[in-house]
Structure 1
Amino acid sequence: MTDTATAGAAAQRVREFKMPDVGEGLTEAEILKWYVKPGDSVTDGQVVCEVETAKAAVELPIPFTGVVHELRFDEGTTVDVGTPIITVDTDPAAGPVGPDRGAPAAPAAEPAPAPPAGDEAEGGAEEGKRQPVLVGYGVATGSTKRRPRKQAAAQAQAAQSAVQAELNGTSTPVVEAPAVPVADEPSAKRPLAKPPVRKLAKDLGIDLATVVPTGEGGIITREDVRAAAAAASAPAAEPTPTPAPRAEAPAPAPVSSTGERERRVPIKGVRKATAQAMVTSAFTAPHVTEFVTVDVTRTMKLVRELKEDPELAGLRVNPLLLVAKAFLTAIRRNPEINAAWDEENQEIVHKEYVNLGIAAATPRGLIVPNIKDAHAKTLPELARALGELVATAKEGRTSPADMAGGTVTITNVGVFGVDTGTPILNPGESAILAFGQVKLQPWVHKGKVKPRQVTTLALSFDHRLVDGELGSKVLADTAAVLENPRRLITWN
């Protein structure tokens, strides 16, 4: 078989799985966890990793069967959509494919000379094999001359001698390896390291040029970078195996060391998406917020009764459920508020359905999944949907589809002991209702001052399509239902 045919066969065997767009046109995702490693067998549809997009954490299944050949990125790396993240050998019975992602070396322009005596101990026997191609370095062509392995070995020996001398406190001079002319090698002076290693070095403020490589072929590994970082942070009196980072200000580290007074965390994932969405909303839609304080004593009594109702056994019954039902009732009575502003087409889009968003605080940040067609659900159906939504959000398993297409939102700030707030609209939505804490306070009831359970509601709306009258009606109707939940029946 010719070399070209061998290359084609190997290329067909090793399949690349690229980072998919897991929802709503997202451009990147962070690899949270790998469930496989090189050499593991995988089957079509098997989950191989978990990634976090700007909206949620998602598990990715592999679309073919075989043996994992290579994981292209480490955990914690943010990868653009469309970038290969894992390769799989789909025909492992045919034998090994080598470390170069399945593509055999191109035929050399002329036969390689035999290595000098003693060079085999430094890996000269591997000279005929192609070295792994690093992302960003390209593939060596037949016209490009390689750096002789003898020079690489000499440089590694010289670096090792320098380190040993520094550790021993001696001033033994280090003899540099003789330079060998290398033609057409633009990256000869650039330290060799894979993209995840470069990112780690950047995060830790380490100059790769100061790191002594220990990887095959002079490649800097993650361990080399961590060793350099540890040496840089050691007391000055102790010997350091690697030079300290250059004097430039280092890039922010994901976690600060003990004793520092500041801690910097990279802005990414859900937090980054939330920030961008809030800025876009705040400076695009003119917000108006209105407030009302309402006696919800009857509603709280109804909540206690519903919890004992056999028809709702096992379902999530709480004040938020009745607030959601009251809000949906107010929207049904004032449907013009359930709309969206289409700037591009200069149209107001009235929606005949309500996808009710529920703001949820999770370890990864604030997300707003929504209950599809909430307007058409009975109270038990709404309770079941609300319980599933909250449970899924807490587990970090909310999908991007669950957060797409919302029309209005409720944010329950009362669970944090807060009376109310001025919530910011989700982009593309017309209104958001803030539900404050319920607490006992003096209230005039039937002409007498009595302790009653009271809460404050705040409604923010897009003033481009919702005027003050419409917003006030929706807020007043919501409050009226919560004050007298019997209206859930009489207003239907």
Structure 2
Amino acid sequence: MTTMTDTSVRFREFKMPDVGEGLTEAEILKWYVQPGDTVTDGQVVCEVETAKAAVELPIPFDGVVHELRFPEGTTVDVGEVIIVVDVAPGSDAAAPVQAPVAAPAEPAAASPAGVAPQEAPQGRRPVLVGYGVVEGSTKRRPRKGAEPATAAVEAVQRELNGQGPAPVVAKSRPLAKPPVRKLAKDLGIDLDGVTPTGPDGVITREDVHAAATSAAPVTPAPAPAGAVGGAATAPAEPYAEDAPYAGDASYQAPQPVAAAVPGARETRIPVKGVRKAIAQAMVTSAFTAPHVTEFVTVDITRTMKLVAELKEDKDLAGVRVNPLLLIAKALLVAVKRNPGVNATWDEANQEIVQKHYVNLGIAAATPRGLIVPNIKDAQDKTLPELGSALGELVATAREGKTSPAAMAGGTLTITNVGVFGVDTGTPILNPGESAILAVGSIKLQPWVHKGRVKPRQVTTLALSFDHRLIDGELGSRFLADVAAILEQPKRLITWG
């Protein structure tokens, strides 16, 4: 959604849009432009981080950047003006360009952020946006990669003497995905100085780590409190192909750890962005919905055999088949048998809203924090379609491209703690949802099978649900159905 307001015929304001559904604020991670840069309709001007994802914002009109209202790292409310663009550069109503607020301050040279533009003295020629004044004592610090000062002055003089328009030097933007840009920012690495090794000149995480290693001093310098250090690069495939949860959505690269100041006993990390949203959501959920958690331990040896068989099925070629796929399908069949679990509590109207669709959430731990993207209308998908949707969800989450819309409107969630070797847990509901299923690790255990003790593949399921919506009987039947399907996967056909 684009939000903008005409402040005059010449200057147009671009406001922080609601890039999700009902978001109220976003943090400016990085500006890709500075005052004086020429922008075109659709050009990305900044990257912002919402409560759940990083989003690049395009400008909706052409012009020259006049002012950046907020520096990088600032949290801005939706609807606040973040950038002012001169859509008619060179007109007589020109105003001096303000110093870029995102750049470090210079002693007595750059004007502070937020200072109102000063009117040009009478008799002085119009100021060319992007180059500053020709005469006077005020100078603007040249941006990295810009023309030398003498060349800029000559360009201005050519414009003032009627010898043609002053050329605008465009600065090329390094190619990198949002998570890589965030990593570079955390490590204090300028992407302009990083040598790309990815396809088509794209900078990878490994390139950023290599640049950080080469730039690191022999003796570590003290880091400011809360500074973020680098994270170890996760292997492309965290587990072997035959491991129970290889490639599951809930396994991601380790999160960056705050660098400790040598000799310090504590490190303070600002709570903002995704971590702030997680904290608020969990507190709201825990103290609003009365949680009940039930557990069941089940023999899923037959499901694991079916997973192995489906991997060899030509009809599923190209689809990533793993236990999560069959667990998701089992949950959808159990919902069909117990539709009352798929509902929402409407506090304002004191109503239970029964959902006739399932937007199946998959909790994923990413470097930005916990996110829960969901598969829309999962109940209508065949097994291959569900597998493809899960694969796309995993790939998008790993690349940090999950959109706010993909995380909105969930009805039920699966969280896989087993990928970390954990037997089970008591998950907290995703706000607005009625139930969440936690899946523990799958292990060989002694189990009584056909009257004899044998080693079997066993896991523990934990179901947390909102007791306002779901009584103990309904929750127990639903969890028992999921377990029964995983114990006898042929029930996917007989019950589905």
Q: TM-score normalised to the size of structure 2?
A: 0.66
TM-aligned CA deviation for residue 92 of structure 1: 2.7
1:18 alignment partner in structure 2: 15
TM-aligned CA deviation for residue 316 of structure 1: 2.0
2:405 to 397, 401, 405: 401
1:307 aligns with 2:274: no
2:85 alignment partner in structure 1: 88
1:442 aligns with 2:442: no
1:41 aligns with 2:45: no
2:348 to 344, 360, 380: 344
Q: Which amino acid aligns with 2:25?
A: E
Tell me: CA distance 1:10–1:490, structure 2 relative to 1, closer, same or farther (3 Å). Answer: closer
Q: Which amino acid aligns with 2:44?
A: V
Listed one character per residue, the Cα deviations across residues 324-350 of structure 1 (whole Å, up to 9, x for unaligned) are: 000111010000111111111111111
TM-aligned CA deviation for residue 41 of structure 1: 2.3
Query: Structure 2: how far apart are the matches of 1:367 and 1:352?
Result: 24
TM-aligned CA deviation for residue 11 of structure 1: 4.0
Q: Which amino acid aligns with 1:37?
A: Q
1:275 alignment partner in structure 2: 279
Alignment of 1:230-245 (within 5 A): none
Listed one character per residue, the Cα deviations across residues 366-421 of structure 1 (whole Å, up to 9, x for unaligned) are: 01111100011101111111111111112111111111111110000011110110
1:211 alignment partner in structure 2: none
1:431 alignment partner in structure 2: 435
1:284 alignment partner in structure 2: 288
TM-aligned CA deviation for residue 17 of structure 1: 1.2
Aligned residues: 351
User: Is contact 2:36-2:65 (8 Å) kept?
Assistant: yes
User: Is contact 1:342-1:348 (8 Å) kept?
Assistant: yes
TM-aligned CA deviation for residue 25 of structure 1: 2.1
Give SS of 2:276's match: helix
TM-aligned CA deviation for residue 73 of structure 1: 2.3
Give SS of 1:476's match: helix
Query: Structure 1: how far apart are the matches of 2:15 and 2:111?
Result: 20
Query: Structure 2: how far apart are the matches of 1:41 and 1:99?
Result: 16
Tell me: CA distance 1:297–1:32, structure 2 relative to 1, closer, same or farther (3 Å). Answer: same
Q: Which amino acid aligns with 1:450?
A: K
1:410 aligns with 2:407: no
Range with bigger deviation, 66-75 or 262-271: 66-75
Tell me: CA distance 1:19–1:355, structure 2 relative to 1, closer, same or farther (3 Å). Answer: same
State the Cα RMSD in Å. 2.7
Structure 1 portions without partners, runs of 5+: 1-8, 103-122, 124-130, 142-152, 154-233, 236-250
Tell me: CA distance 1:467–1:91, structure 2 relative to 1, closer, same or farther (3 Å). Answer: same
Query: Structure 1: how far apart are the matches of 2:442 and 2:75?
Result: 42
Q: Which amino acid aligns with 1:81?
A: V
- Percent identity, please: 76
Alignment of 1:32-181 (within 5 A): 32-94=29-91, 97-100=94-97, 134-135=113-114
TM-aligned CA deviation for residue 463 of structure 1: 0.6
Query: Structure 2: how far apart are the matches of 1:445 and 1:286?
Result: 37
1:354 alignment partner in structure 2: 358
TM-aligned CA deviation for residue 95 of structure 1: 7.5
Query: Structure 2: how far apart are the matches of 1:434 and 1:367?
Result: 15
Tell me: CA distance 1:298–1:39, structure 2 relative to 1, closer, same or farther (3 Å). Answer: same
Give SS of 2:413's match: strand
- Judging by fraction of residues, say which structure has more helix: 1
TM-aligned CA deviation for residue 254 of structure 1: 4.7
TM-aligned CA deviation for residue 134 of structure 1: 4.9
User: Is contact 1:254-1:266 (8 Å) kept?
Assistant: no
User: Is contact 1:133-1:139 (8 Å) kept?
Assistant: no
TM-aligned CA deviation for residue 28 of structure 1: 1.3
